[in-house]
Structure 1
Amino acid sequence: MSAGTELTGRFALVTGAGRGIGAAVVARLAGDGARVLATDVDPEGAETLAGQYPAQVTVRELDVTDAGAVESLVEEAERTLGPLDIAVNVAGVLRCSDVTDLSDEDWAHTFAVNTGGVFHVSRAAARRMAARGRGSIVTVASNAAGVPRAGMSAYAASKAAAVMFTKCLGLEVAARGVRCNTVSPGSTLTGMQRAMWAASGAEDEAAAARRVIEGDLAAHRTGIPLGRIAEPEDVADAVLFLVSDRARHITMHDLYVDGGATLRA
């Protein structure tokens, strides 16, 4: 874990904090001195982080698809915990299906979380940050937003929308001192990745990971040039950089963290 002090005195909101990338982001921010409001629709997993950082991490339940709940939580947090300096959108869902078999419910739910949730949280944060003249918003998207993936149309489209939304927001609030960036991971060892492997009938995790690293010509998918699957901490480190003063002149940027898998297409 990070053990710096660069973010000491800053207050961050993280969604999807109960597991995977979200939990890694909370740990990185807290480890670098920030106070963190860790939120998730199922916040139980984030309680472990609160135990590790009792003076820094506060856990709350939050459904990012509920605009009213988001606004209420951000308002309460600013009143009781302090002004929000950082917001990180990690909450996301993946519903895999060919387009011809994709249900209306799966399409709508994917967009409600992956795009609507980003809108609700970013809007609530940006309103307050812009009024104070400072702040940083990071959206965790996906390299699938830039490269077509078979069976992932809803996910890819929702993440592409989230990327462009975040860039547009960044343009609107740049003059008021708020930076907005995205981090786009590739295959990462999370529960979402493992569930996708299980659904595809993978015999074991090592074999499934090896196929991702090697690529799949039949699925029109390149491998990973760096030869490894990402860990959640790899993505969290990119987030930590973008919210820090080291990235003070970076906004509207989409940082790919995928080991070169998209060949930056």
Structure 2
Amino acid sequence: MPFTLATWNINSVRLRAGLVGHLLTEEAPDVLCLQECKSPVDKIPAETFADLGYPHLIARGQKGYNGVAILSRLPIEDLGHTDWCEMGDARHIAGRLENGVVIHNFYVPAGGDVPDPEQNPKFAHKLNFVAEMRDHFAAERPEKAILVGDLNIAPREDDVWSHKQLLKVVSHTPVETDHLAQAQEAGGWVDVTRKDIPEGQLYSWWSYRSPNWDSSDKGRRLDHVWASRDLAPAAHSSRILRAARGWEKPSDHAPVFATFDV
């Protein structure tokens, strides 16, 4: 049975519960992974989503920041989380569907504004976080697995509006893209979105600072869907729902979709 998965940095699941409901109703993914939920788990409007046909929820939350959740209309087992960098942040959750597919949902630290780990502890945290991801999946090579989330790094030149102008901007610096490439290679992960859409500019985030985000189109692809090598051939129909960035009081991220024939 094929299933469709979406990942979305929602930037407050309570504030934007209506947008989540709209996505679930109109696009109907089987599984929706959310990041930056900014809510304790018991405050997530789970009943609202259950009424829309998504009775299964696994989540880790914090008041006001971070937070990850997986909404599913398919039964899913909570596999726990990893406390990356031992910071106590709610930045990871894992679940297993009844077909055996394991889903990892990540919210990688943004890294602040200064791309220097010596001057900026937030940037050092980001690099250490991705390095721990690399080492973890190198030691436990994933099989029949999907990794999604806001990884806060746009790896390719065509994943940003201007490669040259963003080389010294956090999210596209060489040290970040190198770290992400190492994490991807160590785990044997395949970038499903770029497998399906190999060419051309592709973005999932547009800054709130730009009121004309659509016409100026200064975006970055920060949100990703990866699959283990054994599962990647089953992936298809990747897309980014750009229109969601233009919804009323939107997140600054757009949902990313992929379908898997498993």
Normalised to the residue count of structure 2, the TM-score between the two structures is 0.46
Question: Hey, which of these two has a bigger chunk of strand by percent?
Answer: 2
Compute the TM-score of the two structures, normalised by the length of structure 1: 0.46
